[in-house]
Amino acid sequence: MDLRPISPPAGTRPGLLYQGNDWNFEILRDCYDAVAEIAEGELGLTTYPNRLEIITSEQMLDVYTAHGMPLGYRHWSLGKRFIAHENAYRRGMMGLAYEVVINSDPCISYLMEENSATMQTLVIAHAAFGHNHFFHNNRLFREWTNASEILDYLEFARGYIHQCEERHGIAAVERILDAAHALQGQGVHRHSGSRRLDLRGEQRRAEARRLHEEATFNDLWRTVPVDEEQQPDTALNDPLRRRLGLPEENLLYFLEKHAPLLAPWEREVIRIVRMIAQYFYPQPQLKMMNEGCATWVHDYIMRRLHENGRIDDASYLEAIHSTSNVITQPDFDAGGGPSFNPYALGFAMMSDIARICTSPTDEDRAWFPDIAGNNRPVETLKHAWAEFRDESFILQYLSPTVMRRFRMFRIHDDTSAPYLLVDAIHDDAGYRDIRRTVAQNHDPASMNAEIEIVSANMHTDRLLTMEHRTTRGHQFHPEDARRTLQHMADLWGYGVQLIERDTEDGTVLATHDATGRGGVRR
């Protein structure tokens, strides 16, 4: 929609952007301009250009199904997810978000047409400026994603998958996609910001991808008896390991480059899944900060609109009611579970930082000497939004005040003891222990299993060996490991072995095997 300023619509009281619940596109443009004036003029937010799209509840279900993306390739799992969401929504078992926002350039915000005028204003502030500013400025997003290219790449991916379906058949394509989807959680690079996606370059290179020839491969090698003395060296200086780039944490990347039996189009399909998974990689690490930033921004803007006489008391109460619902932290027994509501914790920490900057206590000065009383709350928040992810943000800024408000404490569960031990309470040492524990719960290392490909026997039976570094009691469920490992074997084409090894002493805790099916190439 066009977001150029226009004159106030006839019939609106002077000063007010709207009255009642109804809205039209003229009112929406006025609300956008009023929100932008505060977001850019008072808060100094910097954003990608905005694009607002009004959609129905049915279209919002479509957006849910596609993980919030405006377009994507076809796969049966999306239809399954749509039916599940639709049934839950029709039966009243779930509600729909007021908006969905996409980290792209321009930044796309979907607004539900059923929203009231107040909610449209609130979600413009929340998504088009709060989330947008965070996408535009956070270091992790800037290092790992390129917002200006994702939409073009999704269009390319959809077209390429469709061409493969027409040329090779839907079943053949789904077989590759099913396996790649099962492995996509381990299909990202995690430890190097230099691997930022160049999606336009990927499109260009896709047209001229080097074909992985099989001229040097003879399947008769599988029938040769294995001589242990001729096994390739698994030391780090082994030339084969160096050529294969082992150890390798990105399973899909290794399969794309080195799986012996994959056809070129199958490698490209795996690459598409890998690239999209890489685009989503930063988001779980920034969930709490992203939502906290957007909620703080919309709360500030709606308050300022009310103070400036642009919305009336009824509209402001509606905004407060909506915000209160979003930032509610249910009790453990009331459905809160072991995790904190990211909206609640994020908003509480953002608000607390602003308080520390303007009205610090002696405790705040002791804990946060660098920001306490600096009278620069917005600048302090913008620095935090740009430079931290959830884990480091909590380690830096979670205060005793917020810990008391959320009634945090830490329990040590020793399975050999008949009791639970509360080992961190509300004292100086306890606060620091609690803060470290909450941060660890947001650590990406705790979200993803540590799996690496450590060897590939290219000389004889082509056995691919992986290691899962873990601890006792945190091993894979055998059936889950077997099913997922079989997807790996299907793509590799030969046997695959997964060794679960204790991180501390190197002891082998379990071994899982899957047999290759001679590849998936037809």
- Interval 94-141: pLDDT, tens: 555 667 889 999 999 999 998 999 999 999 999 999 999 999 999 999
Tens digits of per-residue pLDDT, 286-334?
Answer: 999 999 999 999 999 999 999 999 999 999 999 999 999 999 988 877 7
What are the Cα distances from residue 29, in Å, to 9, 192, 382? 10, 42, 26
Span 338-349, mean pLDDT?
A: 92
β-bridge mates for residue 50, sequence order: 107
pLDDT-derived band of residue 57, with 50, 70 and 90 as boundaries?
A: confident
> Cα(315)–Cα(302) distance, rounded to whole angstroms?
9
What is the C-alpha to C-alpha distance for residues 37 and 33, in angstroms, rounded to an integer? 6
Predicted pLDDT of residue 518:
53
Mean pLDDT for all residues in the chain: 85
For the record, the structure tokens of 187 come out as 């299909």
Say which range, 23-37, 63-77, 177-191, has the weakest mean pLDDT.
63-77
Question: Which pLDDT belongs to residue 89?
Answer: 57
For the beta carbon of residue 387, count every other beta carbon within 10 angstroms: 14
Residue 414 to residue 412: CA distance in whole angstroms: 6
In total, the chain counts a number of residues equal to 522
Q: pTM, whole model, 2 decimals?
A: 0.83
Q: Where are the domains of the chain?
A: 25-145+284-321, 330-446, 450-515
Place of tokens 């799996």: 451
pLDDT digits (tens, 9 = 90+) for 386-397: 999 999 999 999
R_g over Cα of the chain: 26
